[in-house]
Chains A and B, each alone.
Chain A
Amino acid sequence: MRKRRILCLVIIACSIIMMLSGCNTQNGGKQEKLKVGFIYIGTAGDAGYTQAHDKGRLYAQEKLGDKVELIYQENVSDTDDSCVPVIHSMIEQGCKVIFTNSYGYMDYTYDMAQEYPDVTFLHCSGSKSSDNMLNYFGRIYQARYLAGIVAGMKTETNKIGYVGAHPIPEVIRGINAFTLGVRSVNPDAVVEVVWTSTWYDPALEKSAAVSLLDKDCDVIAQHQDTTGPQTAAAERGKWCIGYNFDTRDVTPDSYMTAPIWNWGPYYADQIQKVLDGTWKSENYWGGMEDDIVQLAPLTKNAPEGAQAKVDEMKEKIISGEFKIFEGPIKDQNGEIRVPAGTVMTDEELLGFSWFVEGVNGVIPEN
């Protein structure tokens, strides 16, 4: 018995030493640097949503150099209040600016903004703002429209599969823009949608794509944060379109392009404004004209002529000559929902709850 007790004590002692040696003591240091905290829903290396944000953070760090210190915390859940202690601790460490990058952080970020009026908060993809908190997002649907053009020109079966995450306006808007892009070059093609009800489950999202491939789809697009659907397409020798991040190396013989984020310039700009003291709480929904969303460079798998068509439409979107959600737009039943000559307002886009003609799928009621 005694031996065992000694053994236990040794183990406990060892683990305490390990824990202590794990702590780093880099507190203190220079005060003049502006400290900025980023809170991420996923991992910085997920080749997806969070990595796109982290790339933006690294860009801003490089751009602003010694004037700022940009720290981050990854894997913070947004389905509960996990972000609150993280925000507290970042502010305790001296952060004057906090970025929170997922929808579910919205209410907590708002509460924190009330509690710390001298800290600047920037929340991604939400709808709340105050004097010291703004919300920002990008019109990724513009890039999805262009991706739709590529898919529409590529498909031979005229069936394109789309693996959707959750049936919320953001995803529905993306599917609709994609479908309009597809039909602009290939009016016979349809977009088959399945929902996974997950953002992040590599195996399940692959299964969803497999079910679409079994239904004869030969191009797979996705609104997911993993490369699961792309892998499924590659294994069948079919084609795929990614999301968030340029993932050409994962499935080099199948990947064509992806709607991707480019947060860097916006992050650098906002932090610079805080440095200058000119920051104002202005909500932001930037598009291709600001270069905040892009279509990743087309690969050799993309169809011939797609590059020219994409470039042409990209120009028109940037110049404002072409609006994606301009009527006439029909819904799935063939009824005109947006009459000719009208453009859907941002409010309508933010509350999208119906599919355009050409989508094969159902929006589940919640």
Chain B
Amino acid sequence: MIPFLKNALISGTPLVFAVLGTMYNEKAGNLNLGIEGLMLLGAVAGFQMAIITENPLLALLFAMIFGALGALIYAFLTVTLRANQSVTGLALTIFGTGLSRFWGKRLMGMVLSETFRSYFRPISVPFLTKIPILGPILSIFVEQDIFVYLSYLAVILSGIYLYHTRFGLNLRAVGENAAAADASGINVTLYKYIHILIGGALCGLGGAYLSLVYVPSWQDNITSGRGWIAIALVIFTSWNPYRAFWGAALFGGLDIIGFRIQTLNLPIAINQQFLRMLPYIATLLVIIVGSIRKTSNHMAPKDLGNPYLREER
């Protein structure tokens, strides 16, 4: 059970970053369907930098920069030019997939050096795992690689930022009602730009986890649809970063639980495809339940998907 839960967290880690990235986009009122593309951009850029410099910090930075650059295209089109957000996002996914494929062609078959990979070996936090009884349970969380710890940090910082700072409050105002936010003196365009870029950088990190740590090599379409799961997950966890963390672990676990069930050698076989369908069914149920109960604090930001045009106030 413990190894399974540990792996569920690992499997959920790219999702944590991607779902936080999606959340920043949506909190700023922008529905970004380009998450998959942004993750792939980050994955390929990070891998390229890791090959050139063998420096983990530069690799992560590069992944974030390229995630953010992809998001900049999206921000320019949807915020400045007010293009349709869904279409722009879809185009971004296609663009990111294509560019990563083109770029990654020369990276195929390349191997990251032992030194580079050693930076991402699991590190266990001293003492915590030694506590009797609690130790093994804690080891799920504190015997992980540095990226997983980074995901805890990202979740906590996002939580503090969104709910306990003035900027977070302003951001939520922009997403709920851009016109009102504008009237109260918030620079709507600037807020949208900054948070779409932050979101892109986080998605890039999520992709980089796959290419640098988990797989670790460049393979075409390395994300295999995890960007889409993130978009579903943000709804499933109702735009809350703490829930997003648990949701990502849950979806990550669902992704791999099938193998654990299969190795039990039960007389009946559970279809792997059926298990992989569950995250989407769960998301649908959350949407249905949410719309029946109409609980406002669980619903999407009200201005989600609407371009903001000052003249139309």
Contact = CB atoms under 8 A, between A and B. Distances in A.
B270 interface: yes
Interface stretch (A26-34, A56-64, A188-196): A188-196
Contacts of A250: 109, 111, 217
Contact of A231 (B217, B221, B259): B217
Given A46-B220, A203-B215, A204-B224, A194 B269 contact: no
Contacts of A193: 262
Interface residues on A, range: 35 or more
A248 B203 CA distance: 32
B224 A203 contact: yes
Contacts of A299: none
B231 to A, nearest CB: 18
Contact of A362 (B111, B259, B267): B267
B260 A211 contact: yes
Interface string A313-335: 00000000000000000000000
Contacts of B80: 4
Contact of A203 (B210, B265, B272): B210
Given A43-B101, A75-B101, A197 B272 contact: yes
Interface string A239-261: 00000000001100000000000
B215 A42 contact: no
Contact of A365 (B11, B263, B269): B269
Given A207-B11, A249-B109, A202 B273 contact: no
Interface in B271-305: 271-273, 276
B167 interface: no
Contacts of A226: 219
Contact of B259 (A46, A207, A363): A207
B7 A210 contact: yes
Given A207-B7, A231-B215, A362-B265, 13 more contacts: A4-B80, A42-B220, A198-B224, A202-B224, A203-B14, A203-B215, A207-B259, A210-B256, A227-B219, A249-B109, A361-B262, A362-B262, A362-B266
29 contacts: A4-B80, A8-B81, A43-B101, A43-B108, A45-B105, A45-B109, A46-B219, A193-B262, A194-B263, A195-B258, A197-B276, A200-B219, A202-B217, A203-B222, A204-B255, A207-B11, A207-B255, A210-B259, A211-B260, A214-B3, A226-B219, A231-B215, A231-B217, A249-B111, A250-B109, A250-B111, A362-B268, A362-B269, A364-B271
Interface of A: 4, 8, 42-43, 45-47, 75, 192-198, 200-204, 206-208, 210-212, 214-215, 226-228, 231, 249-250, 360-365
